[in-house]
Structure 1
């Protein structure tokens, strides 16, 4: 059976309604209590770095991004741990899922996150480098108090966000530009990535988390651009004859690595800030 956006929303809506049933139970003394929290986005710093968008890849390239924008959402927060994380609970959950869930159906493995504790049901364009990595607070959302142990999101085609998104993203889902250097060799590069339907090609699922969801704070989803460039080989890009940035075309090794890595559970992380006061600045989160 082909997965559609409508059925995807229906599965998650069912999970949210189930979770809201827990809220009603919470009012009678059992289950989670209702909370109102804020959802936000901010860029994770690479280990050992103090500037967003600067990192060294596992292939030895020193990268500094000059442009990094993406269109993502909706975002769903789950109570069950990711079956992909290395913890003992995660391994146990993965083993249980393999016994109970047929792996051929992507939507069933996706929804094994269990009860939905919170969500942001809209798309958003996020500039990862704006304000030197300043956080973007999206707005308030109802939820259920509890520990978020995994979350999922969608990478959207630029057309999903309307004309404004299409202009900011130059018709792509993700736009990345920067400089990569290694052993005296420097490559100026540009990549415009696309994540069109079907949903299986857009989902980032089972992202590990360990955040206690409560009132008034902000749940931050944090893109990790340093993880996206794992395994990239910039010396395999063909420089244009007239000079200028090298385009990482869809058939290039760099594009293929980015396309795969952006949909891995390691491409994002999360954090919780108990309260954000008006006018208070927050630095980009340094990955633990």
Structure 2
């Protein structure tokens, strides 16, 4: 027990909270305001500038305000000192936590600080493709439909509506607000449009929209009607289990990555002459 142990300053600061506190106390600059009681008794008239500069300091213990350049130099020196210290010392320089406070560190940050990141560490990807399903719409065509539970409606592009020959009520106009805040009116409402997925046929109320970035958007009404349950798999695949509200049938439908929307030339065709 009497054998001396040699420690580096870094190891000592990381092990002893008292030493860290003393180092922080010694390296932190402070501004001390002069006490009004320490002013001279005869302060009714201010002395000339030259006399004030040449007068000695009133008390040796008085600390004058640092100039701007000195304060910047102190801040830079303290920042460099903190950067050279280990992470434990840097955390101790932060505002004191309440007694017996429970701090939960970030696991990935701990691996990063130690430099020992496991090879089998699983992290999330930067982005993944939007998923969609392929129902047969109006018993005519299989059209890609994006699943978006954040949308309050079910929408269809005007081009797909004309391609299927669906009739819609132009009196039902909805003012739609996009993510960037812009508002555009819909063209009308197509009622009871059949969507067939396997043995399940759903009758949906679809708003027709001009020039959207999708063919069909299945919003929140689709999830409520089918009581859908979405399962995301580690390989980026996704399945959706739906229930037929009329027959009670249940089916699990695989989703596919979203593809480009269909395009259709609008207006008059160019002349062949």
How high is the TM-score relative to the length of structure 1? 0.19
Relative CO higher for 1 or 2, CA cutoff 8 Å, sep ≥ 6? Answer: 1
Structure number, greater radius of gyration: 2
Q: Would you tell me which structure has more strand in proportion to its own residues?
A: 1
How high is the TM-score relative to the length of structure 2? 0.19
